[in-house]
Structure 1
Amino acid sequence: MKNLAKKMLNIMNECSHVLKKGENNFHHYKYATSADVLEKVNASLVKNGICSIAVPELLNIVDVTNSKDNIERLATVKMNVLLIDKDSGETVTITGIGSGQDSGDKAVMKAQTAAIKYAYLLSLAISTGDDPEADQKTDENIKAINRVSKGAYHCYDCNAEINERIRLYSEKQFGRALCIECQRKHKKIA
Structure 2
Amino acid sequence: MKNLAKKLLNVMDACSHVLKNGENSFHHYKYATSADVLEKVNAALVENGLCSIAVPEILDVVEITNLKGNIERLATVKMDILLIDKDSGETVTLTGIGSGQDGGDKAVMKAQTAAIKYAYMLSLAISTGDDPEEDQNTDKNMEGKRSGAKELSSEGEKEEPLCEHCGRKITEKVSLYSVKRFGCSLCMQCQKRQAA
User: Which structure 2 residues correspond to residues 116-135 of structure 1 after superposition, within 5 A?
Assistant: 116-135=116-135
- Counterpart of 1:57 in structure 2 is 57
| TM-score, structure 1 as length reference | 0.75
Query: In the comparison of the two structures, how many residue pairs are matched?
Result: 156
Seen in structure 2, the aligned counterparts of structure 1 residues 64 and 97 have a Cα distance that, compared at 3 Å, is same
Is 1:93 paired with 2:93? yes
User: Which structure 2 residues correspond to residues 113-152 of structure 1 after superposition, within 5 A?
Assistant: 113-139=113-139
| Unmatched tracts of structure 2, length 5 or more | 144-154, 161-168, 172-196
Could you tell me how far apart the structure 2 residues matched to 1:122 and 1:58 are? 20
Could you tell me how far apart the structure 2 residues matched to 1:151 and 1:65 are? 49
| Unmatched tracts of structure 1, length 5 or more | 144-149, 160-190
CA deviation string 1:17-57 (max 9, x = no partner): 00000011111111000000000000000000000000000
CA apart distance, 1:83: 0.1
Higher helix share: 1
CA deviation string 1:121-159 (max 9, x = no partner): 00000000111111144346778xxxxxx776999x956
- Counterpart of 1:12 in structure 2 is 12
| TM-score, structure 2 as length reference | 0.72
Is 1:71 paired with 2:71? yes
- Counterpart of 1:36 in structure 2 is 36
Letter in 2 for 1:99: S
Letter in 2 for 1:4: L
- Aligned identity (percent) is 78
Could you tell me how far apart the structure 2 residues matched to 1:25 and 1:36 are? 18
Could you tell me how far apart the structure 2 residues matched to 1:141 and 1:72 are? 37
- Counterpart of 1:81 in structure 2 is 81
- Counterpart of 2:23 in structure 1 is 23
SS at match of 1:116: helix
Could you tell me how far apart the structure 1 residues matched to 2:159 and 2:25 are? 21
